Amino acid sequence: MTFDYDLITLGAGSGGVAASRRAALHGARVAIVEGSRVGGTCVIRGCVPKKLLMYAAQFGDSMREARGYGWVLPEPRFDMATWAAAKAAETDRLEGIYRQMLQGSGVEVVAGWARLDGPNRVAVATDTGDRVLTARHILIATGGAPVRDSIPGIEACATSDDLLDLQQLPERAAVIGGGYIALEFASILARLGVKVSVFYRGELPLRGFDTMLRTSVVAELTAAGVQLHPGSAPQRVQRTSGGFLLSLGEDRVLEFPWVLNATGRRPNTAQLNLASAGLVPDAFGALAVNAALQTGALDVYAIGDVTNRINLTPVAIAEGRALADSLFGAKPHAVDLSRVASAVFTLPPLATVGPSEAQAVQAGLRVAVYEADFRPMKQAFIGGTERTRMKLLVDADSQVVLAAHMVGADAPEIVQSLAVALSAGATKADFDRTIAMHPTAAEEFVLMREPMRVLPAA
Ligand code: NDP
């Protein structure tokens, strides 16, 4: 049988673009179908603009701190519209780069929303009607979108997509959720002058993270003036003329002019006509894949957030490249997801690689816990209260370092580098014989001498 393409990729986000370019590099004939902007969530409405807003927030801190270092500054004021215009220009620039890279690799970009149309067929709804394309392999890389039905009435609230397009910030905001998006934006908005309240249903936010990180983030957000409401998930949200009413049970109702729905993201599969290829997603809409990223349908693969495993851009990119190498480069390989580092870009940020204390113990390991907790030099000088906290988890039997966790300035930069050591199987002795770089915060990771405690295996 002959096909129009060797590979059709559905979705031009980070994963889809990486897979398509790598496949084309190996000589495959590739089309990528995208109904929205090239670049996907990360570039257009996620990681990149979020980090640009975090930088805006950080400048507020820097100006305040600068006074303690002798700078005489006028009272600063943040203008969201100025930021929004610069952000729009930057996302346009990045989208242009993505398009150029695809073109340079020989990947054809097809504009329109794609759906499966039986085995090896993709139908694309374009401005001029449906266009049907055929391919030897089909890759679903359609990512995810904010959940809008987690709580009755929440569909009227803003999502992170909407927040990043605001021209003006509200004076007060409620954030619903206690995950990455909730905490990053709570922290950022508070620094930009918004009075923020966060409602999450657990005792601590960031379920699944090490307790040290979870308690630290609570302390830092509280110090930044964020009102935290643990154990309180709104039962319903009601739109009013002036904003939103959050019903919190037992007749407790609070009103906010603006509410951020940060209750998670769901895979984009509903519109894909998966059944035509014999595919059934799970109850949440995610596509199951095996180690070779194959779905249950012959010749159909999936990568990244649409599979709802580790929903991080670098994972989708690594999977896309591995798939392209395997299908077209005669270099089959799988992605090792056992030790993926990640960061939460609160101010200060936190970063982590490896299991939490609880997860390590549950895995049947005896765990030596090393910790450092200090006020960084930059803060101590100006009487700041922000602390840096670090933790290393070491297998008490093999002495292999299992995990590094950190909250504090530059945590993501530091932990990314430590992830290399952990991937290489570094032991505590390797850390111990590494000479410190002084004066830095990172040096504390090689200066931890005695474990605070040794935990028995569960
Ligand atoms: P998360 O899964 O991280 O958090 C969702 C939050 O919403 C959780 O606190 C969850 O509570 C809560 N929640 C879910 N349903 C309800 C409900 N019905 N009522 C009340 N609370 C609810 O999702 P995010 O949207 O924050 O982020 C999505 C993913 O995107 C992340 O998991 C991450 O993989 C990625 N991401 C990564 C970033 C980074 O790398 N820095 C930044 C942003 C996103 P509970 O924990 O109790 O279930």
Catalytic residue flag (residue 438):
yes
Contact, 106 vs 22, CB < 8 A?
no
Q: Is 207 in the pocket of ligand 1 (CB under 6 A)?
A: yes
Q: Is 312 in the pocket of ligand 1 (CB under 6 A)?
A: yes
**Distance from residue 264's CA to the centre of ligand 1 (Å):** 4
- Give the count of beta carbons closer than 10 Å to the beta carbon of residue 27: 11
Give me the residues paired with residue 260 across strands. 158, 175
Query: What pLDDT shows up at residue 127?
Result: 84
Atom of ligand 1 nearest to the CA of 200: 21
Give me the residues paired with residue 129 across strands. 126
**Distance from residue 145's CA to the centre of ligand 1 (Å):** 12
Contact, 301 vs 142, CB < 8 A?
no
pTM above 0.95, yes or no: yes
Query: What pLDDT shows up at residue 120?
Result: 97
Query: What pLDDT shows up at residue 250?
Result: 83
> Would you mind telling me the total number of residues written for the chain in this entry?
458
Query: What pLDDT shows up at residue 288?
Result: 98
pLDDT tens by residue, the chain, 458 residues? 899 999 999 999 999 999 999 999 999 999 999 999 999 999 999 999 999 999 999 999 999 999 999 999 999 999 999 999 999 999 999 999 999 999 999 999 999 999 999 999 999 998 889 999 999 999 999 999 999 999 999 999 999 999 999 999 999 999 999 999 999 999 999 999 999 999 999 999 999 999 999 999 999 999 999 999 999 989 999 999 999 999 998 889 999 999 999 999 999 999 999 999 999 999 999 999 999 999 999 899 999 999 999 999 999 999 999 999 999 998 888 999 999 999 999 999 999 999 999 999 999 999 999 999 999 999 999 999 999 999 999 999 999 999 999 999 999 999 999 999 999 999 999 999 999 999 999 999 999 999 999 999 98
Pairing of strands 195-199, 172-176: parallel
Q: Look up residue 24 and give its amino acid.
A: A
**Distance from residue 368's CA to the centre of ligand 1 (Å):** 30
DSSP character string of 376-441: -HHHHTTT----EEEEEEEETTT-BEEEEEEESTTHHHHHHHHHHHHHTT-BHHHHHTSPP-SS-S
Q: Is 372 in the pocket of ligand 1 (CB under 6 A)?
A: no
Q: Is 263 in the pocket of ligand 1 (CB under 6 A)?
A: yes
Atom of ligand 1 nearest to the CA of 150: 18
Atom of ligand 1 nearest to the CA of 151: 18
Query: What pLDDT shows up at residue 136?
Result: 98
Atom 21, ligand 1: residue with shortest CA distance: 177
Query: What pLDDT shows up at residue 331?
Result: 85
Q: Is 201 in the pocket of ligand 1 (CB under 6 A)?
A: yes
Query: What pLDDT shows up at residue 332?
Result: 87
**Distance from residue 340's CA to the centre of ligand 1 (Å):** 17
Please name the helix (run of DSSP H) or strand (run of DSSP E) that holds residue 230, with its range, or none. none
